[in-house]
Chain A
Amino acid sequence: MNQHIAEPFFINRQRMNSTFADAIVQGALSRDEIEDEIQATAKALRLIADLQFGRNGRE
């Protein structure tokens, strides 16, 4: 892991997750919307990784 690049990512992710959690706690999103959001986030990151490394390496 390249500490220099990775560190700001972990800090920002903490921030993002806490905003997300706030929105959930305040009832701004329905159960389905929350689920969509989690899946879309995961999918976006996975697609970026696929673009970087190719899809076949993992399957």
Chain B
Amino acid sequence: MSESIFLPPKRSLDTFDAECSVLAGILISSSNMELVDDILNPEAFTNEAVGELYRIARERIRAGRPCDPITIRGEAETNPKTAEFWKASAASILTTFVGKPVMRGYARAIADAALLRSLKDEAETLILDVTHAGDKTGAVLVEELQERLERLALTGDTERQMKTSATAIDAMLEATEAAWKAGNALSGIDTGYQGLNDLLSGLRPGGVYVVAARPGVGKSSLMLGLAMRAAQTSGRGLIWSGEMSAEELMSKAIAGKTGLPVDVVMTGHWKFANGERRPVSREEMDRIVSAGMAARDIPMMVDDREGATVQQILTRARRMKRQKQGLAFIALDYLQLMEASSAVKRSGNRTAEVTEISRDVARMARELNVPVIALSQLNRQSENREDRRPSLADIRDSGAIEQDARCVMALYREEMALRLRVGADGQVSRNSGESDAAYEKRAAEVTERLAKSAGMAEVIVLKNRGGRTGIVGMQFDGPSTWFRGDDERQSDPAW
């Protein structure tokens, strides 16, 4: 390929001269190391020998040992990477030193050239993948490239400040004081539910909060309730919804706000048991539209692609975190729908997959320093017990979820558990070999409990690191599938 005459001349990514100068400066005076140490890694050097000498010098200086050409001579002459170079050029290297004022600039130039070289490698790999990796779609390649660029962006981020214990304590005290002044007893973000706030003190950054339930109990609805309320008070959230589309999720939010059934919000029609359909009234339509407009102002991103990996979500979350609006929390609906890495998937072991996903989610929470609300399925065991309240052992597929979580909550609706004992005819189903008297007594009891538990739900906090466990009462509105705290009135805004 011939060079176009319209392009500016090629820039050189070879920084050999600057590398020699930086090394000489350090060998002449060890105190110069602190000018470059935070910017420059041995891997950034184009010349392997100079890079290795830099590594040797850096290790000695960090260990507080003397470092000059004489003291490192023994090591330089025996190290296979440096021996030849040292013998030929030790003296001439020393004359290439530059003054202190320019050393940092040289180090920056070397580090940046290294970043540019990695970028070039990535670009070349991409071209190869595009033309030759026939099994990868464009979307997959974009995703992979984003991940790799993300990693490069982190290595290029050399000016980032390290957190000392002093600054960490300052930040903590500042947060505590702000909470104290605001009369806010939470150490994390506001869940929007008084009962949960009391037990958990809010959702703390870096922790995983698992909400587990049997299918159909309302995990997604509770998550949505938490997310809508938390986003209003604490800032932008990211929801990964592997089961429901973003539109469905938002129509649930609008159903909660308007009190109309989800189905009505989605279709704009009331549907009756006899099959008749009637459009919603003008007034109801206005309510739907104004709830929709209000929902637009809530800072939330919904990612509804199926079978996402934790890595893919992490990539998006990192990007969101860097943007001005930031990232306050992540919600995942639900863990068992996420994909594990292909290596683990090949093993065909479901427990290993969920274990990996759970570990990665915990790591993501820590890296981004945001709370992660992770929904999880429960297995059937709890349904076979007389008291169907779930326990920690009921979490499906993996004990790792329980271990990695800061807090595990099980969502339980007695009404739903009891309904399983009622047949299609509305009668309590009869156990085999049950006497009439025993059946009638049990049927009356079930019917009574069913009436009492209608519209009620419980969030059972099974594990709470650094806090109490207990049960938080909730109200559940069936048609709009919305959870409210048991201290809230139906007329209180859903979010």
Residues in A lying within 8 Å of B, measured CB to CB: 33, 36-37, 40, 43-44, 47-48, 50-52, 55
Contacts and interface: CB of A to CB of B under 8 A. Distances in A.
A48 B70 CA distance: 9
Contacts, number: 37
A55 B70 contact: yes
28 contacts: A33-B99, A36-B99, A36-B100, A40-B25, A40-B28, A40-B29, A40-B97, A43-B29, A44-B24, A44-B28, A44-B94, A44-B95, A44-B97, A47-B27, A47-B28, A47-B68, A47-B70, A47-B94, A48-B69, A48-B91, A48-B94, A50-B69, A50-B70, A51-B70, A51-B73, A51-B90, A52-B91, A55-B70
Interface of A is mostly: helix
A52 B87 CA distance: 11
Nearest to B95: A44
Contacts of B73: 51
Interface of B: 24-25, 27-29, 68-70, 73, 90-91, 94-95, 97, 99-101
Nearest to A44: B94
Contacts of B29: 40, 43
A33 B101 contact: yes
B30 to A, nearest CB: 11
A40 B100 CA distance: 10
Contacts of B68: 47
Contacts of A51: 69-70, 73, 90-91
A48 B100 contact: no
Contacts of B70: 47, 50-51, 55
A16 to B, nearest CB: 11
Q: List the 3 shortest-distance A-B pairs measured between CB atoms, nearest first.
A: A48-B91, A44-B94, A47-B69
Contacts of B24: 44
Given A40-B28, A40-B97, A51-B91, 16 more contacts: A33-B99, A33-B100, A36-B99, A37-B99, A43-B28, A44-B24, A44-B94, A44-B97, A47-B28, A47-B68, A47-B69, A48-B91, A50-B70, A51-B69, A51-B73, A51-B90
A52 B29 CA distance: 19
Contacts of B101: 33
